[in-house]
Structure 1
Amino acid sequence: MTEGEAKTLFDTEEDSLTPEEREDLATAEPEAEPVTYTGTDFDVEGLVRRLKRGDIVIPTFGHGDESLEVAGFQRGFVWRRPQMDRFIESLLMGYPIPGIMLVQQVDRRYLVLDGQQRLRTLGAFYEGIHGGREFVLDNVADEFKGLTYRTLAPEQRRQLDNTFIQATIVKTDGSNQSLEAIYQVFERLNSGGTQLTPHEIRIALYPGMLVDFLEKLNKTGNWRQLYGARSLRLRDQELILRIVALYDNSAKYFRPQKKFLNEFLGTHRNLEGLDNGKLERLFTEASKLLLEGPGRHALRFQSSQVNAALAEALYVGLMRRLDGGTAPTPEDVAAAVRAFTSDRETAVTISGSTATEEYVRKRLNMATKAFAGI
């Protein structure tokens, strides 16, 4: 069973991309970034050896070693034991195995861009432990049942150790231009079972203090009550990024939205040029007023789901109002939200294709005027 097939088994509604995310992924960048890559083959034993000594790194999702130019491409480890067993069995049977993709950084380490689950499975099988228990093959043909790496017959061990896995190696120099090229490469390969969202790819490319700041805001109580349950696909965190980026730099917004957010996150990767204290204060005050005024339904429009376009407009408009003077009452905020959402022009700008420059600027201006009047 391939990694993509295993992902498909565990797809849920949360795993599916939203129409907005599909549009974002499908929208072409105005410029195609060049990339340098090579192909090579690694024997399985060599891959495991490199994993153990840290020459191949499976990055932490969204965070990680500051010395890594690229980190966190991988989501959580989702294979269950039957899929892990079947993968090892495929290698023992000599079946063809999908290739992996690595990013070679300046210090010559390889970072796993695609193939986390296969590599983690190999590491666990060679180590003999998974989840605190002995890794004994079970969901396999009878001839392999009960085997561990240490109890493989010599010919079986040679078959496994000497199997070659093809690797595509993409090179980066750590610059924003280089990372944007890798983003475009990954986006084009991002298909099959559980596609990564644009934001999952984005924070993988640009881990740092800004991502940590977004996650801090994402944990605040009033925001959580407004948004609802945590998004397994980080859609709540992406919405906060949209709010922060548009509050800070809406005048320079451009399509495609994914590139605008990529550039913002890359430029302010470690909060360079951002007043994070002010942003946190305005965001938390706006969350409190929206919850106490219009309530949880404020971020929803004709649906039980959060409308991201509506939410970003309300937050940016209210944060601008809070930055300009004394805080309005929750009742005044509720009245402003009703006026904004009942306007026919609002419905146009928060439905359908919402990421155009015209619609983004229009809804932000309308929300700003609605809150300026209270």
Structure 2
Amino acid sequence: MTSLTPPEPTEPPEVREEYFNNEPMGIEVEKEADDENPDIARPWNPEQIRVNTKQFSLRNILDLIDDDASLELAPDFQRNQVWNHGQKSRLIESVLLQIPLPAFYFAEDADGRMRVVDGLQRLSTIHDFVRGGTTSGFHLKGLEYLGEAVEGKRFEDLPAPWKRRLHNTQIIAHVIDPTTPPDVMYDIFKRINTGGTPLNAQEIRHCMSRDRSRRILKEMTSTAAFNEATNNLGGHRRMNDREMALRFAAFWLDGPEGYRRVAAMDPFLQKATAKLDSPEEVDDAQVAALQDDFAKAMRNARLVFGDHAFRKWSLGADWRLPINRALFEVWAITLARYEQADLQRRKQAIVDTARKLMTEDYIYLDAITTSTGGITKVFYRFEKTAHAAEAGR
């Protein structure tokens, strides 16, 4: 592997955990440098952007959702809904007040099937309210304007005029043509991602991807090995578990040298998603090997690092920090190459070397904390981690 060394920072980076709705997510924040601007580094060709604008009634949209072959609300995403009861109720109130909804964005595939990307939470909320019944439907709560008129009511309890108003509401949808390249489509959705709780990068990838990659990543993060190594991160509310599994898959498929050709994390992960979706590029035998290596890496990480697997763990500090994505990526790929008997014999030497690295090497710490997608940082952390994994030989 080519040795590339980033500039050395003057002090260790701060560790901050991601929070959502005041709830810790168990994942360390990845920071970008102040001068980092990936959009400028990857300009679009305007001729590749093809968008059609269409108008639908909400009744039409709900029918399309119920017809599984027409409009997809990303399976597995509903249970990870991130809006609270009050946000959902106020959206329904806005519709009843005839306040125009922001435009929606759909991705259309070659078969004419559309996937909701921007507006997923809004349409899921409306669908749950209107078509959910007493199972997944909800009652209106905490309204600001309509108050007693509809407070506490479910859809079936609304007077007929209110139901008609909701059904007849018109929405605007911008549909991205299937001829638009996937990386361009992803960048479009990343730019226009709106709403009360914007989707993160993995949630956007999930909405754009096909069933095959979703199933593979879900299976990888639903195993006992993964949950034991990550303190039960499987089924993460914001899909950070699947992003970590995707990072492993991306480097397992293409390695750091493959990353050099792409030179940015988002397109690298988007490329890996497309490969997992294509049996021609990654057949079922390769998927089985990928999942076996992933489970092996999880067992090995638990064996060597215990409760501190994939977390910063400096000398003299024994409290458990949140999981670090970059550490997950490099240690999982590295440990998948070793057998348990070998690691069992050398694990104390590996831990001591790794902890020293995370205490004294500020370049390494920076490479797993700030602008982690930089090529020099990716190569540096892989090189140093590989060296640490050889400790005790």
Which of the five TM-score ranges fits, normalised by the shorter chain?
0.7 to 0.9
Per mean C-alpha deviation after superposition, the further-off stretch among 278-287 and 242-251 is 278-287
Q: What letter corresponds to residue 324 of structure 2 in structure 1?
A: N
Contact 1:256 / 1:355 at 8 angstroms: preserved in 2?
yes
Counterpart residue number, 2:148: 142
Offset of 1:32 from its aligned partner? 1.9
Counterpart residue number, 2:12: none
Offset of 1:285 from its aligned partner? 3.1
Counterpart residue number, 1:42: 56
Residue 273 of structure 2 is aligned with which of 247, 262, 265?
265
Give unmatched runs, 5+ long, in structure 2.
Answer: 1-19, 315-319
Contact 1:58 / 1:112 at 8 angstroms: preserved in 2?
yes
Contact 1:17 / 1:197 at 8 angstroms: preserved in 2?
no
Aligned residues: 350
Q: Does 1:284 align with 2:287?
A: no
Percent identity over the alignment is: 22
Q: Does 1:32 align with 2:38?
A: no
Counterpart residue number, 1:4: none
Distance 1:306 1:131, change over 3 A: same
Counterpart residue number, 1:115: 119
Inter-partner Cα distance in structure 1 for 2:79 and 2:209: 15
Inter-partner Cα distance in structure 1 for 2:191 and 2:26: 18
Counterpart residue number, 2:373: 355
Partner of 1:294, secondary structure, is helix
Inter-partner Cα distance in structure 1 for 2:287 and 2:142: 51
Q: What letter corresponds to residue 229 of structure 1 in structure 2?
A: N
Counterpart residue number, 1:297: 308
Distance 1:226 1:14, change over 3 A: same
Residue 103 of structure 2 is aligned with which of 75, 99, 106?
99
Residue 59 of structure 1 is aligned with which of 73, 81, 102?
73
Inter-partner Cα distance in structure 2 for 1:128 and 1:371: 52
Contact 2:300 / 2:335 at 8 angstroms: preserved in 1?
no
Partner of 1:168, secondary structure, is strand
Contact 1:136 / 1:147 at 8 angstroms: preserved in 2?
yes
Offset of 1:79 from its aligned partner? 4.6
Q: Deviation per CA, 1:283-307, whole angstroms, max 9, x where unpaired? A: 3333333322332214221461122
Per mean C-alpha deviation after superposition, the further-off stretch among 74-83 and 363-372 is 74-83
Q: Does 1:320 align with 2:337?
A: yes
Inter-partner Cα distance in structure 2 for 1:311 and 1:45: 45
Offset of 1:122 from its aligned partner? 4.1
Contact 1:44 / 1:160 at 8 angstroms: preserved in 2?
yes
Q: How does 1:54-203 map to 2 (within 5 A)?
A: 54=68, 56-61=70-75, 76-79=80-83, 82-124=86-128, 126-127=130-131, 129-131=133-135, 139=143, 140-144=146-150, 156=162, 159-173=165-179, 178-203=181-206
Contact 2:334 / 2:389 at 8 angstroms: preserved in 1?
yes
Counterpart residue number, 1:240: 245
Inter-partner Cα distance in structure 1 for 2:138 and 2:385: 58
Cα RMSD, aligned residues only: 3.7
Distance 1:330 1:95, change over 3 A: same
Contact 1:41 / 1:164 at 8 angstroms: preserved in 2?
yes
Offset of 1:339 from its aligned partner? 1.4
Distance 1:131 1:320, change over 3 A: same
Q: What letter corresponds to residue 179 of structure 1 in structure 2?
A: P
Q: Deviation per CA, 1:47-86, whole angstroms, max 9, x where unpaired? A: 3344444575233346xxxxxxxxx6x7734555554444
Partner of 2:99, secondary structure, is coil
Inter-partner Cα distance in structure 1 for 2:275 and 2:60: 37
Q: Does 1:221 align with 2:224?
A: yes
Offset of 1:260 from its aligned partner? 0.9
Offset of 1:241 from its aligned partner? 2.2
Residue 328 of structure 2 is aligned with which of 290, 311, 324?
311
Residue 252 of structure 1 is aligned with which of 254, 258, 261?
258
Contact 1:317 / 1:365 at 8 angstroms: preserved in 2?
no
Greater relative CO (CA pairs within 8 A, separation 6+)? 2
Partner of 1:268, secondary structure, is helix
Per mean C-alpha deviation after superposition, the further-off stretch among 227-236 and 9-18 is 9-18
Distance 1:296 1:189, change over 3 A: same
Distance 1:22 1:335, change over 3 A: same
Contact 1:321 / 1:368 at 8 angstroms: preserved in 2?
no
Inter-partner Cα distance in structure 1 for 2:371 and 2:157: 58
Offset of 1:170 from its aligned partner? 1.8
Q: What letter corresponds to residue 310 of structure 1 in structure 2?
A: L
Offset of 1:161 from its aligned partner? 4.1
Q: What letter corresponds to residue 231 of structure 2 in structure 1?
A: G
Partner of 1:106, secondary structure, is coil
Q: What letter corresponds to residue 308 of structure 2 in structure 1?
A: H
Per mean C-alpha deviation after superposition, the further-off stretch among 163-172 and 275-284 is 275-284
Query: TM-score w.r.t. structure 2 length?
Result: 0.73
Distance 1:267 1:292, change over 3 A: closer
Q: What letter corresponds to residue 234 of structure 1 in structure 2?
A: M
Inter-partner Cα distance in structure 2 for 1:44 and 1:221: 42
Inter-partner Cα distance in structure 1 for 2:354 and 2:156: 67
